[in-house]
Amino acid sequence: MEVFRLDGETALITGGGTGLGLGIARCMAAAGARVVIAGRREDVLQQAMEELGDRAGYEVHDVTDFDAAPALIGRVEQQYGPVSILVNNAGIHLKKPALETTEAELLQVFNTHVTGAFALTRAVAPGMVERRQGSILFTASMASLFGIPKVVAYTAAKSAYLGLVNSLTSELSASNVRVNAIAPGWIDSDMMRAAVENDPERKAKILGRTPMCRFGQPGDIGWAAVYLASPAAAFVTGVVLPVDGGAAIGF
């Protein structure tokens, strides 16, 4: 089972203080990685640290401050060692009909998910290429795979992740830097609860098209991320892995 371990790896996880990011951080720490979580709210990061323990660290960082990405990578690598795993997980949600969504709102969501992730990837990838070792993960979505009403900005951003995965895979794989994405189904988290709160019809629709008839847990995403970042997935790159209870193929 050592092939599934992450001993000796340093993982930087954006949006790592809550929800799916924290679930990924928990699992990667349990698999032996040194975990650094990043986010905008220091109090949230400090609370997460109480759970993650001594092998974890945190950095206050806003992914929309694109110019600050190289400095973040520099601080992390100086304190914790070379970043060998980057998890682009930070994101925001906007539930609004498409025809009521403004260009500014779409751009805000897109910049948080896509441009912010690209800035960090640009900052960390040269070191991975030089060392000929690295794993870059993106948290995609069911919205990357099919149309979902009232989340046009989120859908546009998460769909763009698939293009990033494809293009980065074609450029970085020869340097043994693997690029993959996880497409979570509906996972029990603060963001998911906000999306279905006071909307029983939406909740019923989600569960009705999920063959396993339940929501997932953050750990379901975390262990998938461990696998994709581990030696067990050494020949896996350019993949978008649904972890969704069957929702992507549900009728």
Domain ranges of the chain: 2-187+217-239
May I ask the CATH class of domain 2-187+217-239?
alpha beta
Q: What is the pLDDT along the chain (251 residues), one digit of tens a residue?
A: 799 999 999 999 999 999 999 999 999 999 999 999 999 999 999 999 999 988 899 999 999 999 999 999 999 999 999 999 999 999 998 989 999 999 999 999 999 999 999 999 999 999 999 999 999 999 999 999 999 899 999 999 999 999 999 999 999 999 999 999 999 999 998 777 877 878 888 889 889 999 999 999 999 999 999 999 999 999 999 999 999 999 999 87
SS3 162: helix
* Amino acid, single-letter form, for residue 235: F
Is residue 154 among the annotated active site residues? yes
The residue from 58, 154, 161, 227 that is catalytic is 154
Q: What is the reported pLDDT for 189?
A: 81
> Could you write out the DSSP letters of every residue in 46-86?
HHHHHHH-TTEEEEE--TT-GGGHHHHHHHHHHHH----EE
Instruction: Report the 10 Å Cβ neighbour count for 188.
Output: 14
- CA pair distance 192, 182, nearest whole angstrom: 16
Q: How many Å is the Cα radius of gyration of the chain?
A: 17
- CA pair distance 165, 207, nearest whole angstrom: 29
Q: What is the reported pLDDT for 231?
A: 98
